[in-house]
Amino acid sequence: MIYDIGIIGGGASGLTAALTAARQDASVFILEKEKAAGKKLLATGNGRCNFSNLTIRRENIGEMVRETGAYRTGSSETAMITVLSAFDSSDAAAMMEALGLSFHARGDYLYPRSDQAAAVADALRWAVAEHKKADVFCHETAEKVSREKGLFQVTAAGGRRFSCRQLILACGSPAGLKKEKMTNGMDLAGMLGLKTRPLYPALCPLKCSEAFLSRLAGVRTAAAVSLYIDDHFAAADRGEVQLTAYGLSGIPVFQVSRYASLALAEGRPVTAHLDLVPEMGQKDLKAHLAEVIGRHPGHSMPMILGGILNRKLADVITDLAAISKEQKAGSLDPEGLGRVVKIMKKMRFHVTGTGDLTQAQVCTGGVLLDEIDPQDMSVRRIPGLYVTGEMLDVDGICGGFNLQWAWATGSLAGRAAGRRSHDQS
């Protein structure tokens, strides 16, 4: 059978594309390598699926992207903004409602009302299954793809062949998967001659070389993280940072990690600075500590610092400031206190690497946006071919931005492919 539309990848963007196209009466197949479609969705938002973000509003997308760095591309920023303006958070919310799902917001982050990612995956799968002309083939890994005589031919790992008039590449990225589960959609893109940028882990932990980290494993602390590349400020975020034996983790670290990944790949030096008391300026912190010491001159420095910081951090900072743990804080000279404050406001880490793809939530890199018409996600040079979701050279920060990109691109591609098959029939 020759299908109107074939989709490789039954994830967030592939299911959205299938649903949008099937609603226009196109015959559609999805090839999904896992035993069920939408598996990655189950892990999103810690199982709750943070599916969009209220700050993604079509009237200010350009401003939002430029001011917050919520999205990044190594290719065309204009194309990225065009896509996001065509399908914003209100469209994502409407899509959930159309699937029968209520939603709610935590701050700007949108979740299904049930707080269950499984509800989103199930609703999408069922909605696709309701269409008689949509077939989902699971346990089928596309290994080869070609275009012959106006048709796309897809060969799966077991040798089964699928033919379609239009093809949507929706393979996502290897981020967050176990090593044995990783396939690389970039190989398929390469077979069709698409230009790509290498994939690197993003939204991932940072590995650092400081020996004292082994003493801080397990500590969680409120902090502001600033990332420096070649000693120049690159990005910052604030929230709960987790210290591990090998480095830094937690949402604010994830948010800046893409810049570290890209810089390290180019062999550039990267450092991360933690401001452990971001709510106070240096002067105020010094005055605060001086006041506490004044009230408790017999306490040791770790005890004084333990009043604001995790005790393990208090110990390490005392050592880094070259102060004896036995010394009474009341006998500390102003230089000693100055050293402590400086470290608390700017604890420096040399970043030697990032977590690997298994520890990342997304990848930075992918098919260049210059290849794509952002009105409908079609590949400019190859009629009938589309690329969606994380396969594209766009990555978002935590907060629902990546799924939003998946819904937006899936919906645009599905709509265009559905319309084209309708016109062709």
Ligand X SMILES: Cc1cc2nc3c(=O)[nH]c(=O)nc-3n(C[C@H](O)[C@H](O)[C@H](O)COP(=O)(O)OP(=O)(O)OC[C@H]3O[C@@H](n4cnc5c(N)ncnc54)[C@H](O)[C@@H]3O)c2cc1C
User: Considering the rule CB under 6 A, would residue 183 count as an interface residue with ligand X?
Assistant: yes
Please, which of residues 33-72 interact with ligand X by CB under 6 A?
33-34, 39-40, 43-45, 49-50
Question: Of 142, 314, 323, 347, which lies in the binding site for ligand X, with binding defined by CB under 6 A?
Answer: 142
User: Considering the rule CB under 6 A, would residue 301 count as an interface residue with ligand X?
Assistant: no
Q: Which is nearer to ligand X, 162 or 349 (CB)?
A: 162
CA distance 414 to 250: 35
CA distance 143 to 44: 26
Task: Sort 143 into a burial class: Cβ within 10 Å, 0-12 / 13-18 / 19+.
Answer: middle
Q: Which is nearer to ligand X, 175 or 329 (CB)?
A: 175
User: Considering the rule CB under 6 A, would residue 91 count as an interface residue with ligand X?
Assistant: no
H helix or E strand, kind and range, residue 350 = strand 347-354
DSSP 45-113: GGGT---EETT--GGGHHHHHHHH--EEESS-HHHHHHHHHHS-HHHHHHHHHHTT--EEEETTEEEET
Q: Which is nearer to ligand X, 35 or 295 (CB)?
A: 35
Question: Of 171, 277, 344, 347, which lies in the binding site for ligand X, with binding defined by CB under 6 A?
Answer: 171
Confirm if 237 and 225 have CB atoms less than 8 A apart: yes
User: Considering the rule CB under 6 A, would residue 250 count as an interface residue with ligand X?
Assistant: no
CA distances from 313 to 211, 214, 306 (A): 13, 11, 8
User: Considering the rule CB under 6 A, would residue 125 count as an interface residue with ligand X?
Assistant: no
User: Considering the rule CB under 6 A, would residue 397 count as an interface residue with ligand X?
Assistant: no
Confirm if 238 and 223 have CB atoms less than 8 A apart: yes
Question: Of 6, 112, 176, 201, which lies in the binding site for ligand X, with binding defined by CB under 6 A?
Answer: 176
Question: Of 75, 361, 364, 378, which lies in the binding site for ligand X, with binding defined by CB under 6 A?
Answer: 361
Q: Which is nearer to ligand X, 141 or 282 (CB)?
A: 141
Q: Which is nearer to ligand X, 8 or 305 (CB)?
A: 8
User: Considering the rule CB under 6 A, would residue 389 count as an interface residue with ligand X?
Assistant: yes
CA distance 149 to 75: 31
- Residue 149: CB atoms within 10 A of its CB come to 5
Contact region with ligand X (CB under 6 A), list: 73-81, 228-236, 344-352, 399-407: 399-407
User: Considering the rule CB under 6 A, would residue 310 count as an interface residue with ligand X?
Assistant: no
Residues interacting with ligand X, by CB under 6 A? 8-14, 31-34, 39-40, 43-45, 49-50, 141-142, 170-172, 175-176, 183, 185, 361-362, 389-390, 400-403, 406
